[in-house]
Structure 1
């Protein structure tokens, strides 16, 4: 049973919402309701197994969004529509992601502050990263950049000999240092860090929400779909939601906090009359506040490449590995197998321009219905992949996967409503490769990845790039010279993949910034008692996976909301870092 009103209503139990629910319910004088459209993370055994993240996509725990047809990318997808998985479950995307723990560069946050996001510089946010963390990697436990005893468990992702023997040594041969990319500097090779505990996924549902659910002042409403923010006289007074096919209106005594993510947060705002005036008027939605909601969408994009491995060290799932995990919770299924990342720096920028990620998994995916749904691949393309997997040159040895990710694309997309029906999925247009510089910088990173094949470390396992793609996967590109830009431009357009790192659709900014939806305290402009706390408020997509920065934002927002400073001692300790 739900109350008719609460002090705080949090919409979305994802990476940010679970943190907020924990922190705001610490004050037993306040009542907190957190509303989640999906169900419990305990409904799926697969959700707890680190290696099986991909198996959670296109299930009931995934919103399973798709973009509109892209002009310059996703040519191998049906209708040129990229898939965009997002968690629809307690923990949100932290319950279905690949658990790679990357905070971003210190220069990301200093850049936010310079653009008018006062209070979000690196020195301001570092204490909140530290506060969340319980670092399990012995070599990092005494680092002033890491925390011990926080709710978020961070573990070593090393799973195979490739981590040290090939990836680390190869990057060192290329002139890069081995670094803790969540420490003093991000540039270099970073051994993998992942949010797992005892070989299980450690989502924000497990880390933050579950421990708080014993408090009598915290209520959790699952399978509850928020359709609108209730606004009266420019003040958020509650929400309207559908639960068990019944409409409920729940009032908020203090604040409504939207933490539905960079896709659903702008959707809910626009349905409530907060967004671009012309767009809302075209759908007959009464205007409450004319704001650039849904604009400035940023996302990482990547291209993946197979490398031969004559040691067959990369993991290939088997019946034995599943049996080991189910009986003893041991074996390779307990690791993500993302064994490290390398951050590449351009001389003209403080920020890295590309991230190389090394994924120690062997072989091609099987040709099954689940994989078709996961990537929305054209069936003809999928058949070519299946044919390639039977190619004798591949079967003769193992493979592993390397990804090149463009970290700071200049292309900007947008989110729009499809209709005024709250159950319609939004229109998502990331405009991938719309800016010509994005292709140039992605090619630069690809060339660095190809150079790794010439290092002694990569050659020691026969790790030359493996391209059955020419014949099977990319017929339009096969007649182009392999090392020429034209080939790679063709290949990128056909096989570019989204990283699902969507941000900035409700970005924060100064009062004079007409691109901002919220102020630096994350309050929605022109509407009282309404705040947004999730990845949508980021000024720009950070240099790396955004789950850790999203958790940081929620930690900091909780202090703003409660007007307390719970990290004063950490601030003093890290003042000179």
Structure 2
């Protein structure tokens, strides 16, 4: 090797070593710097949960120094592991006890047959895909569920308020915002994405801004990242704003019960470092613990379905249908081989040069996970008239599928043989299942996981619709664009469905029953609704029906799951709700 090249290599390696090993030495992380050593006995607002909604609310409600806010987070702070900021390794945290609850569904009849213990999973880990859903979703919230004030035109200003668009062609769009906390960038450009988008065009779809006027079409993924760093609510809404004297943040603080006195919520009990503590709220307690933990906490506090609480010996404070309308997408992963080097192999994704590029420049393969996405209609005559039915997300690799929770025998057939081979994985998702599931208490122990029954595929039409989504993916694979790179889905010939002809309806139905799973876009377990709605838990001001000073704000209040990932609409709902609470002060 020539001396100048060797010198350059040494300089680069030294720079990377410095950045990785010495950048944070003897320096507290941003997350650590905003935590509180001690907390007071009473606050104006107590926010339970520091996720997408809780971080937004804690930040916005503490903007006025005259009001005190306490944020109680059961897990660690957002900066606990520096790797959480790297978008491409999001799925690595699915099994982390510091960042995910790792709840599993119960074994359900006839489904999840190829998953570990025949159970699907749950998680709040976000893969940084920024997707608001369809404008038709929020119009349905108003028209079907009577949620006046929560329509698309009501929420669009809050989508924009939260957003800092980094995509040049969208900076002047009336559907996007600049200067907000959450950065929205284009995913790392991989040639395979272009072939996928061309395939969509061959099938009659346009290349779209799926967060703009119409969601339908194909596009590169828009991702929550700023210069390659995950643009999460903890970092952007809390960390970058620094320590506030009127905002206390306490981590490793599991809230176990809400105290109520004569139908008024007055405070919460929580456990930290093995010690039970209590804190009062003068104005509101806001539960933002997510679609599983929010209903769990309410039911542990005596707020939930009367019969269920009585069966567990919990005194009933308020009889409301908590946990009875669990909603989520149904997803199946289908892989394809290709014969051109247009994908992202392991060396490109996480090799030395990718690490160097990411560490020094904040660019490269480590900055994103999914690369392209399509939002499709089973009945094309409904395009422009209704929300899409199917979402297909393209990952530019067949290397791993941590998301799917496959059992070992399935992984040995569908994943391990194709590691480091050219190909892609498509997540085919049914966006609007016809039936909902439930979340109930397993016991009165707050450390015990709740009971999740997804109820997936109990309506045959849902299976038919997911099959239709698979057929759409097959049509994409058969286009000239995908044929030109040798796309082939033969690697999906699983032995456990080999008694059916490959690619027949029966074969794909068998695959659905074995490897389909919920897509971790869980919502609606504390759904909002108008007065008189027997399925609603909170009213249109997100108050628990029949209880004063107790609100819920997270994805659990959605009347129904949106047509995409749920982090962006959760942030928008929290932004709107924060404004509502501020107006109540005066």
- CA separation in 2, counterparts of 1:325 and 1:139? 24
Is 1:77 the counterpart of 2:115? The answer is: yes
Q: Does structure 1 retain, via aligned residues, the 8 Å contact 2:335–2:491?
A: no
Distance 1:345 1:564, change over 3 A: farther
2:15 is aligned to: none
Is 1:335 the counterpart of 2:368? The answer is: yes
Is 1:31 the counterpart of 2:31? The answer is: no
- CA separation in 1, counterparts of 2:361 and 2:386? 46
Distance 1:564 1:416, change over 3 A: closer
Structure 2 portions without partners, runs of 5+ = 1-37
Is 1:13 the counterpart of 2:65? The answer is: no
Q: Does structure 2 retain, via aligned residues, the 8 Å contact 1:10–1:259?
A: yes
2:492 is aligned to: 469
- CA separation in 1, counterparts of 2:102 and 2:358? 28
2:40 is aligned to: 3
What SS class does the counterpart of residue 66 from structure 1 fall into? coil
1:65 is aligned to: 103
Q: Does structure 2 retain, via aligned residues, the 8 Å contact 1:171–1:342?
A: no
Aligned pairs for 1:125-164 within 5 A? 125-164=155-194
Q: Does structure 2 retain, via aligned residues, the 8 Å contact 1:257–1:531?
A: yes
2:388 is aligned to: 352
| 2:272 corresponds to which of 236, 243, 259 | 243
Is 1:364 the counterpart of 2:399? The answer is: yes
Aligned pairs for 1:432-451 within 5 A? 432-451=456-475
1:387 Cα deviation from its structure 2 partner: 5.7
Q: Does structure 2 retain, via aligned residues, the 8 Å contact 1:502–1:536?
A: yes
1:564 Cα deviation from its structure 2 partner: 7.2
- CA separation in 2, counterparts of 1:408 and 1:375? 19
Aligned pairs for 1:241-280 within 5 A? 241-280=270-309
1:363 Cα deviation from its structure 2 partner: 3.0
Q: Does structure 1 retain, via aligned residues, the 8 Å contact 2:437–2:453?
A: yes
- CA separation in 2, counterparts of 1:305 and 1:229? 44
Instruction: Give per-residue Cα distances to partners, 1:516-552, cap 9 Å, x unaligned.
Output: 0000110100000000000000010001111100001
1:469 Cα deviation from its structure 2 partner: 3.3
What SS class does the counterpart of residue 149 from structure 2 fall into? coil
- CA separation in 2, counterparts of 1:212 and 1:527? 33
Q: Does structure 2 retain, via aligned residues, the 8 Å contact 1:228–1:268?
A: yes
Distance 1:208 1:276, change over 3 A: same
1:481 Cα deviation from its structure 2 partner: 1.6
What SS class does the counterpart of residue 79 from structure 2 fall into? helix
- CA separation in 2, counterparts of 1:449 and 1:337? 16
Instruction: Give per-residue Cα distances to partners, 1:2-36, cap 9 Å, x unaligned.
Output: 00000000000000000001110011110000000
Is 1:295 the counterpart of 2:324? The answer is: yes
Distance 1:358 1:365, change over 3 A: closer
Q: Does structure 1 retain, via aligned residues, the 8 Å contact 2:67–2:246?
A: yes
RMSD after superposition: 1.8
Q: Does structure 2 retain, via aligned residues, the 8 Å contact 1:345–1:351?
A: no
1:183 Cα deviation from its structure 2 partner: 0.8
1:380 Cα deviation from its structure 2 partner: 2.5
| 2:431 corresponds to which of 382, 403, 407 | 407
TM-score scaled to structure 1, two decimals? 0.90
Is 1:180 the counterpart of 2:209? The answer is: yes
2:18 is aligned to: none
| 1:542 corresponds to which of 562, 566, 572 | 562
What SS class does the counterpart of residue 468 from structure 1 fall into? helix
Q: Does structure 1 retain, via aligned residues, the 8 Å contact 2:370–2:393?
A: no
1:381 is aligned to: 410
Instruction: Give per-residue Cα distances to partners, 1:138-184, cap 9 Å, x unaligned.
Output: 000000011011111000114211222x0111101100011111111
1:43 Cα deviation from its structure 2 partner: 1.9
Distance 1:26 1:537, change over 3 A: same
What SS class does the counterpart of residue 65 from structure 1 fall into? coil
1:327 Cα deviation from its structure 2 partner: 5.2
What SS class does the counterpart of residue 84 from structure 1 fall into? coil
Distance 1:145 1:375, change over 3 A: closer
What SS class does the counterpart of residue 111 from structure 1 fall into? helix
- CA separation in 2, counterparts of 1:149 and 1:196? 14
2:243 is aligned to: 214
Q: Does structure 2 retain, via aligned residues, the 8 Å contact 1:344–1:355?
A: no
What SS class does the counterpart of residue 52 from structure 2 fall into? coil
Distance 1:564 1:184, change over 3 A: farther
- CA separation in 1, counterparts of 2:70 and 2:130? 28
Is 1:427 the counterpart of 2:451? The answer is: yes
What SS class does the counterpart of residue 377 from structure 2 fall into? strand
1:574 is aligned to: none
Distance 1:564 1:279, change over 3 A: closer
TM-score scaled to structure 2, two decimals? 0.89
- CA separation in 2, counterparts of 1:195 and 1:440? 33
| 1:312 corresponds to which of 309, 319, 341 | 341
